[in-house]
Structure 1
Amino acid sequence: MAIRLITKDPDPILRKIAKQVTKFDERLHRLLDDMAETMYDANGVGLAAPQVAISKRVIVIDTGDGLIECVNPEIIEKKGEQFGPEGCLSIPGINGDVRRAQYVKVRAQNRFGEEIEIEGEDLLARAFQHEIDHLNGVLFTDLAEQIYHGNVER
C-alpha cells in the first residue's frame, strides 16, 4: 500500500467523466488499497480515483463505520433532502453548503466484480453523492449555494 498524491483543482482530470472498470485484477486491488490509505492519511471520509489522478469509476468511503469500496457505482434511488456543509480533499481551504438527498441506494461492484447494493443516510448519503459526482467531473463547488474560504463567507 502507498499514499498517493491528491490531485487538486483545477487539474483537468477532476472535470472528466471517469472510465468504467472492466478488469478486476491486482492493479485494481492495489488502487483500492492505496486510495483507502490516502483517504485515511488525509483525514477524509471519501476519495474518488480521479482525485489520485486515475480516471476510473472507483470510490472509497469511511464515515466512521468501516471502509466501503465501490467500483462502477451508480445511485439507483434517492429520497428526502439535507442541506449542509461539504469540503473536499481536492479543494483545500474551501467549504460550501450543498443540498443533497437524505437517503441513497447505490449499486456497484466490489473489488472482485461482484454486484453489491448499499443504502446510506445522512453523512453516508452525502459522501456517496459527493464521490460519485467526482466520477462525473462534478465538484461540490459547482452545487454549493454558499462558498466559504476558511471561516470567511465569500
Structure 2
Amino acid sequence: MKKLVFIIVALIAVACNNNLVPKPDKIIEEDKMENILYDIALIQGIKSYKPALLDSNGVDPRTYIYKKYAIDSLTLAQNHTWYAANLEKYGKMQGNVVNRLKADREKLDKPIKKKSKKNTAPNAVLDQEQKNRMMQRKQELLRRRNPGAVNK
C-alpha cells in the first residue's frame, strides 16, 4: 500500500511539472519565428485560393520555409511546439501575424477600391457636387437643343 501511494505521489509530481515541452536544441528567435508563422499563413492562403500561383512562380510550399530561413524540419517542429506550449507568448505572436495579414490586405485593397470608385455606375450614389455638375450639363444640353425654352 505504501508503494502504491509513493508511485501515485511520484506520478502527480512528474505530471505537475511546468516544463513539459523540452527546450529545442536550436532556438529560433521570437521575431524570426513570428516571420515564419506569417510566411506559413501566406503560403496556406495562396494554396487554398490559387494553388497554381505557387507552381507558376517556382515556389515549393513544402521546402520554401526551410530554404528561406535556413532551418530544417526538426528545428521548426521543435520550436513550434516549444512556442505553442507558452500560450501567452504564442498568442501574442499569432496576434501579430493576424495584424500583419490584415494590414497587407488593406494595402492591397486600396488600389482596388480606388479603381472601383472610378468605374461607378451612373445610378451610384453621388456626392452633391457631382449631382450639381450633372444638372448643369443637362441644362446646357437642353438650352442648345431648345434655345427659346425656359429653364426650370
Output the TM-score relative to the length of structure 1: 0.23
Please identify which structure carries the higher helix content: 2
Please identify which structure carries the higher strand content: 1
Output the TM-score relative to the length of structure 2: 0.23
